[in-house]
Amino acid sequence: MTPPLLTVIVPTRDRPEMLGRALVSLQQQTWHPLEAVIVDDASTGSITEAIATNLTHRGLRVRFHRRDAQGGPAAARNDGLMRAEGDYISFLDDDDTLAPNAIEVAMTWLDQHPRAVACSSWHQVIHPTSRVEDFKSVSG
């Protein structure tokens, strides 16, 4: 049986360095198949270099959409939803990264809980001062 495709929607605007780190963390995922839908919310500069520089194939299908007018992160996420082809949807902001097994853990949990409609995970916020805050998961 083929595992379900997960689409990760990545909204971005004018932060190619951060986008590059987020994409590398997607590239390193242990879960496949995986699709990234990158939605550029009308950046004033080019982010295509961040995409080209930070991606190789490694099982990650990447699609790119550029919005003509800035609509904010919610509008970019909604545009990504309209373009997603996955059986499941996840969101990753351009300033976030994932642990290499994050998607595999979530997808395994969803497989083990077929009545669940969503899951979220534990995460850390690392502040510019290097202070780390941990947050626990909520699934269901």
- pLDDT value, residue 57: 52
Q: Per the structure block, which two tokens stand in for 66?
A: 């550029």
- Assigned domain for 137 exists: no
- pLDDT value, residue 17: 87
**Mean pLDDT of the region 2-27:** 92
Question: From CA 41, how far away is CA 78, in angstroms rounded?
Answer: 11
Residues present in the chain in total: 140
| Domain span holding position 16 | 6-98
- Assigned domain for 48 exists: yes
Q: Choose among 67, 61, 78: nearest CA to 13.
A: 67
In tens, the pLDDT along 41-52 reads 999 988 876 676
Please count the structural domains in the chain. 1
Rounded to 5°, the CA angle 49-52-56 comes to 160
Question: From CA 71, how far away is CA 85, in angstroms rounded?
Answer: 22
Q: Which amino acid is at 76?
A: A
- This prediction has a pTM of 0.85
In tens, the pLDDT along 111-129 reads 999 999 888 876 666 666 7
- Assigned domain for 109 exists: no
